[in-house]
Amino acid sequence: MDNKIPILIVNSTLHIGGAEQVAARLAEGVDRECFDVAACYLKEPGLVADQMVRGGVELLQLPGFEPGRRDYLTSL
């Protein structure tokens, strides 16, 4: 049985930016013996998403976002 604690890091996008870099470093630096980490983006992936995948982080997209349609999930 896997006793790892699941962690989901959620960002609006994973383009280059301060919050995105913090999320990537956090996801990559988590002790994988204790935690099962994944990241989710609400709108778009980007270079930081690529960085996270290369670091072994599972990456998930929240389904349903369509560019140009009103976005009730974020203020961006």
The answer to whether residue 50 sits within a structural domain is yes
Dump pLDDT digits (tens) for 10-59: 888 888 888 889 999 998 899 999 999 999 888 888 889 998 999 889 99
The answer to whether residue 67 sits within a structural domain is no
17 CB burial (10 A radius; 0-12, 13-18, 19+): middle
The answer to whether residue 68 sits within a structural domain is no
36 CB burial (10 A radius; 0-12, 13-18, 19+): middle
The tally of domains found in the chain comes to 1
pLDDT tier for residue 75 given thresholds of 50, 70 and 90? low
Host domain of residue 21: 5-61
The answer to whether residue 16 sits within a structural domain is yes
